Structure 1
Amino acid sequence: MRTVPVLVYDGDCAFCTSSVAFIERRVRPRCTITPWQFADLRSLGTTQRRAEHELLWITPTGAAYGGSQAVAKLLLRAGKGWAVLGALLTLPPLRWIARGVYRAVADNRDRMPGGTPACALPANRRPGQQPSD
């Protein structure tokens, strides 16, 4: 059984990977961080489709939070000033705004700093990937 949460991200996306590198360096949440391509998604209680769509925060009990709420959870777990920001992101109307901002960024990650055209492709169409079942 897991004792710490797991942050699951898209390891084939340059923008996602650089964002996670920032999180590891500056935010330092107490969790395991893994790209979905190397995660046992079934044991985490999620699917490839969901992992392709959004950042995921999976608690040790198996609860899954996606998108902006995954970001809020990781900030809460980081403690210090980050936890205050995480708490704010769970409250309306900031939660609603965060959801919209997250979706806009995620949908345009190929245009973000560090992003590449491959970030816009579905996982099964990215260079070097096999079609998924």
Structure 2
Amino acid sequence: MERSTFVYDGDCAFCTKCAQFIEHRIPTGARVLPWQFADLDTLSLTEAECEEAVQWVGADGSRAAGPDAIARLLGDSGPLWRVAGAGLRFPPARAAAWPVYRWVARNRHRLPGGTAACSLPQEARERLYGPAGRPTADA
């Protein structure tokens, strides 16, 4: 793999807003893309893993999920962001990051940019909105 990849849930408005922030504010060489448009087989990821948490697949084949993936993304970025990434990897911060990450994941539909669709399981989102996130004819 040539570049590291950060994978997020493209059907979630909150996640998409966060990914846009990354793309516009965090200088990284990693690809930032929704899992719905990623080649999961090439990345050795499953839909279940991507529904569970954001994913990092390093150019070296290393993998991380959730706040560990965010720390890896930040570590692959500009100097100030690398400091933030190192801080997130610091054991006490890492221990606190996982419960916070899980809370955000459960409540992302309530956060700025979130929508009701963010709280639905992937299967329900696809049934209502189709695989590309647009409402289906019968929804």
TM over 0.5: yes
CA contact (8 A) 1:56 1:67 kept: yes
Is 1:84 aligned to 2:101, yes or no? no
Runs ≥4 residues deviating over 3 A: none
The equivalent of 2:137 in structure 1 is none
Task: Judge which range, 9-18 or 56-65, deviates more.
Answer: 56-65
The reply to whether residue 3 of structure 1 matches residue 15 of structure 2 is: no
Q: Give the deviation of 1:28 after TM superposition.
A: 2.2
CA drift of 1:4 comes to: 1.2
The answer for the alignment partner of 2:115 in structure 1 is 116
Contact map agreement 1:28 1:78 (CA 8 A) in 2 = yes
The TM-score with structure 2 as length reference comes to: 0.88
Name 2:73's counterpart in structure 1: 74
Deviation at 1:53, TM superposition (A): 1.0
Q: AA paired with 2:129?
A: G
The equivalent residue for 2:129 is: 128
Report the count of equivalent residues: 129
The answer on 1:102 being equivalent to 2:101 is: yes
Counterpart CA distance in 2 for 1:42 and 1:106 is 24
- Cα deviation for residue 128 of structure 1 reads 2.5
- Using the size of structure 1 for normalisation, the TM-score is 0.92
1:65-98, CA deviations, whole angstroms, 9 ceiling, x for partnerless residues? Answer: 0000011001110121110110011111011111
CA distance in 1, matches of 2:120, 2:63: 24
Structure 2: tracts of 5 or more residues without a match: 132-139
Quote the Cα distance in structure 2 between the aligned partners of 1:107 and 1:30: 29
* Letter in structure 2 aligned against 1:129: G
Percent identical among aligned pairs is 45
User: How far apart are the structure 1 equivalents of 2:60 and 2:47?
Assistant: 20
Q: Which has the larger radius of gyration?
A: 2
Provide the secondary structure at the position in 2 that maps to 1:57: strand
Q: What's the Cα RMSD here?
A: 1.1
